[in-house]
Structure 1
Amino acid sequence: MNHVLQEGIQPEVRTANDYALVAITKHGVALARRLQGLFQSSDLYYMKKFEKGDEQEKNIQMFEGSVRLLLPSLFKNYKGIVLVISLGAVVRMIAPLLKDKKTDPGIVVLDDKGQFAISVLSGHLGGANELTKEIAASIGAEPVITTASDVQKTIPVDLFGKRFGWVWDSAEKLTPVSASVVNEEHVAVIQESGEKGWWEHDRPLPANIRPYPSIAEALQHQPDAALVITHRHLKEEEKRILDNGVLYRPKVIILGMGCNRGTAAEEIQSVIQETLDELNLSVKSVKGIATIDLKKDEEGLLETVEKNNWSFVCYTPDELNAVEISDPSETVHKYTGAYGVSEPAARLASGASSLELVKKKSGNVTISVAVIPYQ
């Protein structure tokens, strides 16, 4: 049963994340749903009359009546609130709720078309300015920040890489690492994979934030905190970097896959997890599955990508045959028209010249693993 916040009461919302997205119009709901898919750690709320039927599955909460009744609970439970509502209406609704800039959540307003992201409240201490920039970058909006000076001239640790889809392994050290960044302590950044364009400002990195080519070298310089971006599990001797560090998982792993018709999603997912464990890679860094177009309707594969919010890319036999592979199979060609599926699909989708795993057959599943090159 869908959870609906009833009219006439001030409901206690079910919070699972740090940020709330709220919409009250048809176009606003479409924008908010899109943003939820891009923005980690957000809960979505919108009016019940715009129900799509998948709200329970996506953990979306709906409400009836005035959004004004929802705001007191949101203020108490979230560090940031993004409202796809007109600026004037938001100002009137939040005015009675304001208490202190040290405790009020960051408030960001978006217009229905997603043209502008406006930092409204708690721009500095509440993080609304950085939240505005991250949201604007995610949806291609223009960030509007009106504070005289932007004191957050550094990395927002809890939002770092969010617009690329990076996720963190654990939120345990977010607060102390953020404190090290803000207090201009020595912060190491070690990036092994993922997008390079995370520093979006037209000024150099702050002097206290220092990139290192490896965890080993960073440890030699004894940083006060660390930001580590990698798709692999750390070795035992490297884990000291996380004593006061946050580990980010970029979406860089491509799984080339083939399977027998009717293979259960449970078997596919078990092979994926087992394979990644063998390779010492994190499932949180999986970007998607690549396969042959004959499998575009394979229920086990479709269920797997939907469950994990992964991409799903299908190639024709001719596209797969254009890729040089290590072990062409006449048997596979007889049934599919391609001399291989998992290996060439992984190469095509990742652009990688070498694979972490060329090919493994396990039960009804064949899997290859590639990592998108970090250049």
Structure 2
Amino acid sequence: MINLREGEIPVIEKRKPYALVAITKHGVAHARSYVEKFPYADLYYMKKFEQGDEETRQIQLFDGTVRLLLPSLFQQYKGIICIISLGAVVRMIAPLMIDKKKDPAVLVVDDKGQFVVSVLSGHIGGANALTHEFAKAIGAVPVVTTASDVQKTIPVDLFGAQFGWMWDSEEKLTPVSASVVNEEHVAIVQETGEKNWWMYDRSIPDNLKIYPSIDEAIMAKPQAALLITDRLIEAHEEVLLENGVMYRPKSIVLGIGCNRGTAMAEIEQVIDETLAELRLSKKSVKAVATIDLKKNETGLLDLTAKHNWPFVTYTPDQLNEIPMQNPSDTVFKYTGAYGVSEPAALRYANAKELLLKKKKSGNVTISIARVNFQEEVQ
């Protein structure tokens, strides 16, 4: 916990580019859901709203006035998103502002989550772009008051953020952003994930060229690249990332079954080993799905809380609605469903085929499906 005192600089643990701060009961409730929808923000809120899972979810609590927290956030984060009244934010950041070339982006979100307002560093600091991306992620209205909005192109460091995409490494964000802004040849290859990422009312710029495969993009010799995939790429494909950024869409659904009392560590080990075998990125896990008999299974609850993964359970009847190649009478005898991990993964992913059919390892059974992005998941 962060204890805030006059005259002292608080120690914070910066993990992500942006900070999200809430100081009211409703603001905290919204903020806890926002960090699941927008994965690039560290969450801070007041200790009096503590709910017990903050350490597991890497949420930082503070005790004292938020005015004493903002200077540290101002210095360390690329942007600050405040669920605090606009007037209060303006008064608190006024003494902290140095120069528009150095100040971080500052946004304000109302307590009901209806509007996202760009407050400071709209262009150079990226607040306008962040406003649009964050508003889209949480389903709010963006409010940008500058006379001319940001250049209508892809914000590399926020690309796909409204869908929960995460970049693998920030190393090339700056040079790739420069290539995009300077209208150099930028290759885009998308293997999975949401397709409706272009958000402007104009055609995609000519310098941004979409290629159907990594090999074709490499042959085109672009000056920069954006790669959207859930798989671990091969050695010969890495040349595309010499000046490129790789994004991980939330596209993998884990169907899990386990014996009662299975420890979180065992479940996670099976997941890690299985994803490595399939050469899939853990950052692309969208959800864990299982039967409702497991809705209170501690190992699963701890695991999904640790990674902020949605934990979805289905009734036996819901699972039995999913066609299965190998229904199990034994599983039906004990659960009322002819399968657990396979139909749970398929149902959530709204998919017809599995990437991995049922695999048993120790006390854990795992199946994997890729989300069908042509239709919404159930």
Q: TM-score, normalised by structure 2?
A: 0.93
The reply to whether residue 314 of structure 1 matches residue 313 of structure 2 is: yes
Secondary structure of the residue aligned to 1:288 is: strand
Q: Is the 8 A contact 2:79 2:127 kept in 1?
A: yes
Post-superposition Cα deviations, 1:204-226, rounded to whole Å, max 9, x if no partner, equal 11111111111111111111111
Match for residue 260 of structure 1?
A: 259
Match for residue 342 of structure 1?
A: 341
Q: Is the 8 A contact 1:7 1:66 kept in 2?
A: no
Equivalents in 2 of 1:259, 1:89: separation in Å? 50
Write out aligned runs for 1:138-217 (5 A).
138-217=137-216
Shift of 1:165: 1.0
Secondary structure of the residue aligned to 2:216 is: helix
Equivalents in 2 of 1:220, 1:310: separation in Å? 37
Number of residue pairs the alignment of both structures matches? 374
14-23 or 115-124, larger mean C-alpha shift: 14-23
Secondary structure of the residue aligned to 1:107 is: strand
Equivalents in 2 of 1:61, 1:264: separation in Å? 26
Write out aligned runs for 1:212-223 (5 A).
212-223=211-222
1:236–1:103 Cα change, 3 Å: same
Match for residue 19 of structure 2?
A: 20
Write out aligned runs for 1:52-131 (5 A).
52-131=51-130
1:69–1:262 Cα change, 3 Å: closer
Equivalents in 1 of 2:280, 2:7: separation in Å? 50
Q: Which amino acid aligns with 2:69?
A: L
Unpaired runs of 5+ in structure 1? none
Shift of 1:114: 1.7
Post-superposition Cα deviations, 1:296-342, rounded to whole Å, max 9, x if no partner, equal 22222222222221122222222222222121222222222222222
Q: Which amino acid aligns with 2:155?
A: P
Match for residue 135 of structure 1?
A: 134
Shift of 1:8: 5.0
Match for residue 362 of structure 1?
A: 361
Secondary structure of the residue aligned to 2:20 is: strand
Post-superposition Cα deviations, 1:134-177, rounded to whole Å, max 9, x if no partner, equal 11112222111111112331111111111111111111111111
336-345 or 59-68, larger mean C-alpha shift: 59-68
Secondary structure of the residue aligned to 1:100 is: coil
Q: Is the 8 A contact 2:57 2:308 kept in 1?
A: no
Q: Is the 8 A contact 2:40 2:166 kept in 1?
A: no
Secondary structure of the residue aligned to 1:130 is: helix
Shift of 1:65: 4.0
Equivalents in 2 of 1:8, 1:26: separation in Å? 27
RMSD: 1.8
Q: Which amino acid aligns with 1:45?
A: Y
Match for residue 268 of structure 2?
A: 269
Equivalents in 2 of 1:293, 1:50: separation in Å? 29
Shift of 1:10: 4.0
Q: Which amino acid aligns with 1:357?
A: L
1:15–1:342 Cα change, 3 Å: closer
Equivalents in 2 of 1:306, 1:62: separation in Å? 17
Shift of 1:129: 0.1
Post-superposition Cα deviations, 1:252-281, rounded to whole Å, max 9, x if no partner, equal 111122222222222211111111111111
Equivalents in 2 of 1:362, 1:189: separation in Å? 38
Shift of 1:7: 4.3
Equivalents in 1 of 2:149, 2:341: separation in Å? 48
1:230–1:130 Cα change, 3 Å: same
199-208 or 297-306, larger mean C-alpha shift: 297-306
Post-superposition Cα deviations, 1:9-53, rounded to whole Å, max 9, x if no partner, equal 343433222211222333223233332232223222333333334
1:25–1:321 Cα change, 3 Å: closer
Secondary structure of the residue aligned to 1:68 is: helix
The reply to whether residue 248 of structure 1 matches residue 209 of structure 2 is: no
Post-superposition Cα deviations, 1:212-245, rounded to whole Å, max 9, x if no partner, equal 1111111111111111111111112111111111
Q: Is the 8 A contact 1:4 1:61 kept in 2?
A: no
Equivalents in 2 of 1:46, 1:333: separation in Å? 45
177-186 or 58-67, larger mean C-alpha shift: 58-67
Q: Is the 8 A contact 1:232 1:280 kept in 2?
A: yes
152-161 or 335-344, larger mean C-alpha shift: 335-344
1:178–1:367 Cα change, 3 Å: same
Secondary structure of the residue aligned to 1:291 is: strand
Identity of paired residues, percent?
A: 65
Q: Which amino acid aligns with 1:368?
A: S
Equivalents in 1 of 2:67, 2:162: separation in Å? 29
